[in-house]
Structure 1
Amino acid sequence: MKKKMILAVLALGIFASSCSSDDDNTSSVNSNLTLNLDGLEALGDDFVYEGWIIVDGSPVSTGTFSSVDFPQTFNVNSEQLAMATTFVLSIEPAVDSDPAPAATKILAGDFSGTLASVNSNGIVADFSTSTGNYILATPTDVDDTNEESGVWFLDNSSGSAVAGLDLPTLTDGWKYEGWAVIDGTPVSTGTFTDPTLADDNAATSVFKGDAGNGPDFPGEDYLQNAPAGMTFPTDLRGATIVISVEPVPDNSPTPFTLKPLAHVVPEEASVRTTISMEVGPVSVISGTVTKS
C-alpha cells in the first residue's frame, strides 16, 4: 500500500501538465469529499492549502482552503472521485499562476473504499526515530563569560564534536530550522537540510560574534543585534530549544506546526556539555478524507 501511495505522489510531478480542476470536468455531476484533518495551522495571507486526488496517475485539484477548522467538504466531479486512488494535500501560493501541484506536499494517503487515512509520514518524512543533542556555547567570540548565550546542535560527549541531530532526509519543498524560544519569542538559529553540516546562515548571521562562523554544524550565538525587546548576550537556560520542519518557500517567520524535537534547557545546565533533546509537540499531521 505504501508503495502505491509513493508512486501516486510521484505522479503529481511527472504528470503535472495534465492536472485539471472542477471547472474543466466534462460532467456537472458532483459528489462530496470531506476532509477531517488534525494538526494543520493557518498559513497567513500568502499561501493556501490545496487538495488533490490522483486519477489514472494524474493529479486533479479538489479545491483550495485557508481555514483549519474541520471537517470541510468539497464538491468534486463524481466520476473522477470514484476513480481516485490517492489524496494529497499541498501548500500553494495564494496567487498561483501554475496549475500544477507545488513541491511542498504535507499529507498523503491511499483510498480504501471511500476512506483515505492521510498523514505527513513519507510525504514529508517519518520522525518517529529522530533524536537530538546540543550544547550551550558561544564559539564565535573570544569571551568565555557568556557561553550560555549560544546553542549548537552537536555532541561532544566523546571528546570530539560530531553531529548532534539524527533526522531523516526531507522530501522536496521542506527544510529544517532550529529555534531558541526566549521568554516566549522564537529566534531562529538558521535553516538546514543536512544536520551534519553548517546551516544556511552560517556566514551571514547578524547575531554571531566576530571571531568566525563557529562549528560546521547547525547552531547560533546570540551575541549582538538582538531583535526589538531583547538583549544579547542572553541566558538560554530556561529557554526552549526546538527543531521545526519548514515549507519552502516559508509562510511565516515563526516555527511551522511540525516540530519533531524540542527541549527546555535546564536551569542548572552546564555550558559546553552535551544535552539531549526530547520528542517535540508535533511530529506528525494526520486525518481522514472521505468520499460520499
Structure 2
Amino acid sequence: MKHSYIDKFRLEDKTAIVTGGGGILGQHFCIGLASAGADVAVVDIDLEAAEKTMTLINDEFGTKAKAFQCDVTSEESVVQMVKDVVSHFGQINILHNNAAGKSKDLDAFFANFEDYELDQWKEIMSTNLDGMFLVAKHVGKVFIEQGNGGAIIQTASIYGVIGPDQRIYEGSYYLDRQINSPAIYSASKAGVIGLTKYLATYWAGKGIRVNAITPGGVESGQNDTFKRNYSNRIPMNRMAKPEEMVGALIYLASEASSYVTGHNIIVDGGLNAW
C-alpha cells in the first residue's frame, strides 16, 4: 500500500469562500487556496479589490475564481452572497472568515481608551465579530444542507490572545499617521477565538470543523521605528510577511487537519512564547 500524505493538503473539487479577499492578507489567502486546487469565491465589500484578486488567480492558475461584493455587517447582503456563490459554483466546502473592519474615522479609531466613543466601538465590532457570526451562520446552513461537513477558518489576531505592549507604539506610524492598538481591536479578535471554540463543539457532530488563525504583526506600510520596536519583541527578531500566513490556512482547510477543530494556530514568530 502506497501512502501519499501530501495529497491530503490538496483542495481540488473544493469551493472556498474568503471574506476580505481583496485585502493585504486576503489576497494571499485566496491565491494560496487556489494554488492548492480550490475554486475561490473572492468576497469583499470593495468589489474592485475582489476583482483584482480574482484576475490574479485566473491568470496564474486557471482555477475558477469569481469576485462577489458583500457587506458582512448586513445579514441581507450575506444571505445574497451565499446564494450567489452556491449558484455559481454549485457548492461551498471551505469558509475563510477573514474580513475585518476599517474605521471611517481614524482619529476616533485611534483615540485613547478613556475617550473612546461607543459608536466607534460598535462600528468595528459589527465587522470584526458580528460579521463573522453572520457569515458562519449562513455558510454553516449550506454545509448542513449539503450533508458532507465543511471547514471554517476564522482570522483572529495576536492581540486577541495577549495584550499589546504599548511601548512598541512610541514614535510608530502607519501610512504617515501615529498609531496604537485600540481596545476594540483586542476585544473583537478575542471574541473571534471564543466564537471559533463554540462553533467547533456545536457543529462537531455535523462534520464541520472550525479553527482560527492568529497572525502576528505583518509588514504592511509601518515606519521603521514601528518595525524595529515590534521586531525587538519577537524571538525571530522580525515582522511577518503576508505569505507566511498561508500555510496554516491550507492545512486547516484541507483533510490534512481532519482531526483538528477548535484550535487556534498562532503564527507570530514566537511572540506568545516569551
Category of TM-score, reference length = shorter chain? under 0.3
TM-score normalised to the size of structure 1?
0.25
The structure with the largest helix share of the pair is 2
TM-score normalised to the size of structure 2?
0.26
The structure with the largest strand share of the pair is 1
- Report which of the two structures shows the higher radius of gyration computed on alpha carbons: 1
